[in-house]
Structure 1
Amino acid sequence: MEKQQYAADTDSATESRAADLTVKPKFIRTITLFMAVALNFGQIVGAGIFVSPKGVLMFTGSSGLSLIVWTLCGLVAMASAVCYAELATMLKESGGEWAYIRRGIGGGPAFVASLLTVTLGSGAFALVAIISAEYMVSPFLDDCSKPPYLVKMLAIALMILIFYINTSTNLVQKIVKVTLVVKVITMLAIVLGAFYWMAKEGTSKLTQPFQGTTTNGWNVAVAFYSGLFAYMGWDNVTNLTEEVKNYKRNIPLSIIISVSMVTALYVLINISYYAVIGPDRVLSSNVVVLEWGRALFGEWGVLLSFFVSLSALGAGFSGLYGMTRQMCCVAREGHTIQLLAMVDVKESIPVIAMVNQTILAIIFCLVGEGIVAMLNFLSFVGGFVKVMAMFSLVKLKLQKHNDNEERFRVPLILPILMTLVYVYLAVVPIINNPNWYHLYGILLAVIFFVIYIVFIKFNSRVSCFDRVTLFVQRLMGVAVIDKFM
């Protein structure tokens, strides 16, 4: 009798557990305007402004042209961001570029774009972790005395920590807000520090700003790669449309606020670098802020390394938060394995997608060589995806998609212009100076398209995945996310 009762209780518990996992959880609208600004600002301002100045200056040849490039990159980011704001409010679903390209062009290009974006996000996650680790160890060890793989091992540990914290929505949102304050204070300190330096030491390093300016237009296009990487993340909040409160108002407003703030601060910070340490030292250092801090504050300047490291970590938190939502939305439409569409049934956190993104980032960290090379690869891949997204907006506007609904709108000429800009940025460097990262980016796109044809177009299935999916679902208590619409 006791055995029968135990068996009945076990069956009941199993059925109850299965019932829990058959429900379709939805993303929860918890993101306010301030949080949207924090996520966008936090993703943009990570490692880029502390690394990209070297790449921009290297290819422009002068501080004057580099400042023009930084300003133009900000304008490109703003124009692109408001285009994405219209797409987000037009289509009303999370998933960012994948959702936009799927509606505008079709499933195949959207699938390729989504996997390229996952690659881009993983690489960017790895890069901010590497830069954070670099700034952590630089005050204590110079380049010659660093043990092999010390920075990479520390970066991997930081990525695992970011993953763990992202498993709690409340905790990660609090950390993103705190790091936003740290970022703004650090950037303002760098800007104000330059005024103090110039009042005390003069502006001799800012004379002849256009001396050495490149006459090669192709090099300027490559300089844009480095600059645009520092603005990468302006679309972060558009991955989270289904989680943003009053999204028709808050998405456009958060984008305009965050990108405007970033552009102004970036230009002023670069002026500060040139005024305090000069273009030559910007070119010779991988830790520009540390050089700047030592010039201004002596050995106390090493404290800036801590703030820069925290800033980079903040970008990691924001990036993983947004990117895994996009991956989750791709999977719920059947364009990747179903596991990636599964979220925790209690908090709607895409745990499986976060595991996947973290593993890919660790691989990137281990095999990637050279910050500037990784930066150029990520920018090239990102530009390729942006071409498809901007063209999608042009097509949807010409088709008058959802024209009868209230939404944020931009003039048709803007996405047309941005399509041409991203085509230029993607094609010109390949023609002028083909490199390994161009080949890898194109090869990845071809491989992803073949995968789409085989597994999505012809609906090929691997039966063992079903058993794996069920096992993981029961083990981790996850279910496939549903849509609001």
Structure 2
Amino acid sequence: MPSNELQSPTSEMVLLTPSSDNPPSIAPAATKQPPREGSAESDSSRVVMKKQLGLLEGVAIILGIIFGSGIFVSPKGVLREVESVGASLIIWVLCGLLSMIGALCYAELGTAIPKSGGDYAYIYEAYGSLPAFLFLWDAMMIFVPTTNAIMGLTFASYVMEPFFDSPCQIPKIALQLVAAVTICSLTYLNSYYMKVTTKMQNIIMFTKIAALVLIIVVGLVWMLMGNVENFEKPFENTTTDPGKLSVAFYSGIFSYAGWNYLNFMTEELRDPYRNLPRAIYISLPLVTGIYVLANMAYLAVLSPSEMLASNAIAVTFGDKILGIFSFIMPVMVGISAFGGLSVHIMTSSRMCFVGARNGHMPAILSHISVKSYTPLPALVFMCFLSIVMLVVSDVYVLITYSSIVESFFIMLSVSAVLYFRYTRPCMERPIKVSLWIPAVFVVVCAFLVVVPIYVKPYEVGMGVLITLIGIPFYYVGVVWQNKPKWVQHTIDSLTYTCQKLFLSAREEKQD
């Protein structure tokens, strides 16, 4: 956004003269101070996002998002729609295969376009400014803050549950306060202590896998003891309604959601041409195997009616079969929600950062802390939106409205593989998948987007309406460059004030 030159009030900091392409920023006047220990890699003092993530951290990010609280809390959505044990397990397998196909496409996109931002970056590169802005609009206003709020509330409920007897409900305000403190604390960690955060993610990843392996082992032992009555007629009463099947797929895919989140942080990944695809290839088969086996374990121990009646299946599973060790499950669910929230805060802030860097959000959100080399303004902005969503009573409804729209944008991202094959045949592709892979993914996603239109027309319509509301904001905030001087001066003043507050600067490009 264009702006007038501002004067720095101090001799120690110099405000760089802004241009139409670059927002104003603060940078040290003389020599830059070396990065503080533990905040960034010491081989460079440029104000850029540091490459602090290796293969293990990449795997931890993907598993940290996918193994949120979903597999422990509510894998009953598939069973409720298909109405049979056998069909539900097939849906879980197919959702895993679909996620792996999509992940292969993202491996090609992530290595051909090595930019942070994930879906936003690919849509912007393939289809231009407006579609990318609308995805960013939905993500920043709905997808990300509502997911953060729900993860925070889930963690809060499991932390506070031991302090309340079963007849008493946890006060809503208490849940909101604990969730708010958790979101703010994790935002602080992600803002100033990236290395601590990534090490914490590694530990939590192994904790989540251990919890799921415990469920699987207990379920297998239960079946080996002859308790297989729930599998005697696996396909009895299976629904054949295409609408219900598509909704069942949505429930399954929602539990796999997050396999594309490492692409949001490509610029911070060491050797992304090798580590990005490797992290995907390791994570997705592991997730699919664990999910299918965990659901088999649930179905072996719990009847379909017990699963459908439970609000936290892993806890119900533990209460029925683990005896005095049943306390393990609530602890594991709490840890999983905590870890998933941390990863979501970290990765989603990068999408906000890249969007601002392209001029689709306020310029200050494209700035980087000169001390910790993290997108501090973007992290604080997303924290604020997440806190707002904590007090919105219909936060789950917002996610329902937007889930189909999100699937449409994922389909659009993967279709970019086909689009680039046609329009840029000579584009450098370190990883090149067979054309049938993105073609199959796009066709399946198109089915999942179109069919719910007649099953849940109101929800689809609301999702489309939320997206279309972003169009006026696009033309006012992005297209309209010649704003009145007083408007531009206000924007410049706010940007300058936030720069001083966050000690942030515009990203320094490599010479």
Same fold (TM over 0.5): yes
Instruction: Find the aligned partners of 2:124 and 2:219 in 1 and give their Cα distance.
Output: 47
| Cα shift at 1:201 | 5.5
Alignment of 1:474 with 2:500, yes or no, is yes
Structure 2 counterpart of 1:129: 152
The 8 Å contact of residues 76 and 308 in structure 2, kept in 1 or not, is answered as yes
- Find the aligned partners of 1:370 and 1:213 in 2 and give their Cα distance: 32
Q: Contact conserved, 1:46 with 1:311, CA < 8 A, in 2? A: yes
1:381 and 2:405 are equivalent in the alignment: yes
* Aligned mates of 1:156, 1:298 — CA distance in 2: 33
Equivalent in the alignment of 2:432? 409
Instruction: Please give the secondary structure, in 2, of the residue aligned with 1:12.
Output: coil
Moved more, 44-53 or 170-179: 44-53
Is residue 93 of structure 2 the alignment partner of residue 71 of structure 1?
yes
Report the CA distance between 1:376 and its aligned residue: 3.6
Matched with 1:7 is none
The answer to whether structure 1 residue 361 and structure 2 residue 386 are counterparts is yes
Matched with 1:25 is: 47
8 Å Cα contact 1:83-1:415 kept in structure 2? yes
Cα distance in 2, alignment partners of residues 76 and 309 from structure 1: 28
| Structure 1 match to 2:313 | 288
Q: Could you tell me whether the CA contact under 8 Å between 2:78 and 2:252 is conserved in 1? A: yes
The 3 A distance-change label for structure 1 pair 271 and 453 is same
Q: Choose 127-136 or 255-264, whichever is displaced more.
A: 127-136
- Number of equivalent positions: 473
Partner of 1:341: 366
Map residues 50-199 of structure 1 onto 2, 5 A cutoff: 50-118=72-140, 119-139=142-162, 141=164, 144-149=167-172, 150-167=174-191, 168-199=193-224
Which residue of the partner structure matches residue 418 of structure 2? 394
Q: By how many angstroms is 1:423 displaced?
A: 1.9
Superposition deviation, residue 153 in structure 1: 3.2
Matches within 5 A, 1:38-49: 38-49=60-71
Q: 2:304 matched to which residue of 1?
A: 279
**Structure 1 residues 352 and 440: CA distance shift in structure 2, 3 A:** farther
Equivalents in 1 of 2:407, 2:370: separation in Å?
36
Amino acid at match of 2:184: I
CA distance in 1, matches of 2:161, 2:482: 50
Q: Please, what TM-score do these two structures have when normalized by structure 2?
A: 0.87
SS in 1 for 2:250: helix
Q: Equivalent residue for 2:462?
A: 440
Go from structure 1 to structure 2 and tell me whether the alpha carbon gap of 1:165 and 1:200 turns closer, same or farther (over 3 Å shift).
Answer: same
Mapped to 1, the partners of 2:27 and 2:176 lie a distance apart of 43
Return closer, same or farther for 1:357/1:278 CA change in 2, 3 Å cut-off: same
Could you give the per-residue CA deviations for residues 45-93 of structure 1, whole angstroms, max 9, x where no partner exists?
Answer: 1022123412111111112111111111111111111111111111121
Name the amino acid aligned to 1:422. C
Alpha-carbon distance in structure 1 between the residues aligned to 2:93 and 2:482: 48
Does structure 2 retain, via aligned residues, the 8 Å contact 1:100–1:393?
Answer: no
SS in 2 for 1:381: helix
Q: Which consecutive segments of 4 or more residues in structure 1 shift more than 6 A?
A: 21-24
Secondary structure of the structure 1 residue equivalent to 2:322: helix
Matches within 5 A, 1:218-367: 218-367=243-392
Given that residues 71 and 255 in structure 2 are in contact (C-alpha distance below 8 angstroms), is that contact kept between their aligned partners in structure 1? Answer: yes
Structure 2 counterpart of 1:389, one-letter code: S
Tell me, in whole angstroms, the C-alpha distance in 2 between the residues paired with 1:260 and 1:21: 51
Q: 5+ unaligned residues in a row in structure 2: which ranges?
A: 1-8, 16-24, 33-45
1:450 aligns with 2:472: yes
Aligned counterparts of 1:92 and 1:117: Cα–Cα separation in 2:
21
TM-score normalised by length of structure 1: 0.92
Query: Which of 428, 435, 453 matches 2:451?
Result: 428
Percentage of pairs with the same residue: 30
SS in 2 for 1:343: strand
Return closer, same or farther for 1:21/1:90 CA change in 2, 3 Å cut-off. Answer: farther
Q: Which moved further from structure 2: 136-145 or 426-435?
A: 136-145
Specify which structure has the higher proportion of helix: 1
Matched, 1:208 2:233: yes
- Helix, strand or coil for the counterpart of 1:188? helix
Distance 1:483 1:446 in 2: 34
Q: Which moved more, 1:324-333 or 1:424-433?
A: 424-433
Distance 1:458 1:465 in 2: 14
Compute the RMSD of aligned alpha carbons.
2.3
